[in-house]
Structure 1
Amino acid sequence: MQRQDTQDAPLFGEEDENNQTKRSKMSGRFVVCMVTIILLLSCDFWTVKNVSGRLLVGLRWWNQVDENGKSHWVFESKKTGSKNITSSAESRVFWLGLLVCPIFWILFVFSTVFSFNIKWLVVVILGLVLQWANLYGYVRCKVGGKSNLRNMAKNYLGVQILKRAMTQPESL
């Protein structure tokens, strides 16, 4: 007497082999996706840092290591007297992209954490770090490499408060 349902049901141990095959295909796809995304993020970082910033806004930054092994960050901007070949629209697109991308990566970090997709957290944090590094580097180039960003913000706020105080009519 033969059971009819034995052909449909996996035999003892077969379900483990099928699950392992599915898992290995899934993990293989994850690794391929992860490596591809990391390579694309690296290409984007390099392009924005070395090409787009120089051509669109006349700024560049890099790290130099001296003979003593000490790291020095260099922030450069195009001289004001040099020929300006960039348009204001290109500059706005560059700065908008530079500001919006880290915001998206922050949203991706929260999305990854709250959806418990922890395996993607490495990729998302890498994307955030690379975008943040470009943003920081170009802001330092724009305001001057030697100046402190905190002091610049304080000075800006002080000037704005002073302007408002001077333009408001005195009430008696």
Structure 2
Amino acid sequence: MDLGPPSGEDYAHPNICFFHVFFKGAALAFYILSALFVDSFVIVFVITVLLAALDFWVVKNVSGRILVGLRWWNEINDAGESLWKFECLDHESLARINKKDSWLFWWTLYLSAVAWFLLGIFSLIRFHADYLLVVGVCLTLSIANIIGFTKCRKDAKKQIQAFASQTIASRLTSTIQSAFSVV
């Protein structure tokens, strides 16, 4: 399994890729560097969570749809049950997704969660429970996107497999029918 980015192609959506990475990096960088410039925990909390929320929104509503052709959301029905809803492009459009865009999307999605997890461990080691709250909110937003897009990707694979088996079955049926109608 090749873990490096696909070679031989450029990013199909460089602006979307930039903002996909920008808000993740901005939230992480502000949180890490804020200790050097800002004394107020409230300012660190508000700005870091705001950047993480912007990242969550961009990933969920823009970059996920454009870079990997997936979109998810969660609804609560009248009975109070949580329902996951998934959208994906058709199988032909999914096959045309740029591999570099997809690679960047998935790797940054997982690496940002790992970074927040490590920062959470550092907050625990340093006994900064208040900063652990910031990390907890940011990690929760990252994990929500990971769960949503992972479930959405599995649902998309099921839809593609169902479409492929349906297509094969209909072609096989039409071939058999045409063979018997000729005789």
Provide TM-score, normalisation by structure 2.
0.60
Q: 1:125 aligns with which of 136, 152, 160?
A: 136
SS in 1 for 2:92: coil
Q: Any unmatched runs of 5+ in structure 2? A: 1-37, 159-183
2:119: which partner in 1?
A: 108
Structure 1 residue 30: deviation in Å? 1.5
Q: Which residue of 1 aligns with 2:155?
A: 144
Q: Classify 1:89/1:145 alpha carbon distance in 2 versus 1 (closer, same or farther; 3 Å).
A: closer
Identity of aligned residues (%): 38
TM-score, normalised via structure 1 length:
0.64
What displacement does 1:122 show?
A: 0.5
Runs of 4+ in 1 over 6 A off after TM superposition: none
Matches of 2:54 and 2:96, distance apart in 1: 25
Contact 2:71 2:88 in 1 (8 A): yes
Paired with 1:77 and 1:98, the residues of 2 have a C-alpha distance of: 18
User: In terms of Rg, which structure is larger?
Assistant: 1
Aligned to 2:17: none
The amino acid across from 2:71 in the alignment is R
Count matched residues.
121
Offset, 1:39: 1.0
Indicate the SS of the match to 2:93: coil
RMSD between aligned alpha carbons?
Answer: 2.3
Unaligned runs of 5+ in 1: 1-24, 148-172
Contact 1:74–1:145 at 8 Å: present in 2 too? Answer: no
Match of 2:55 among 38, 44, 50: 44
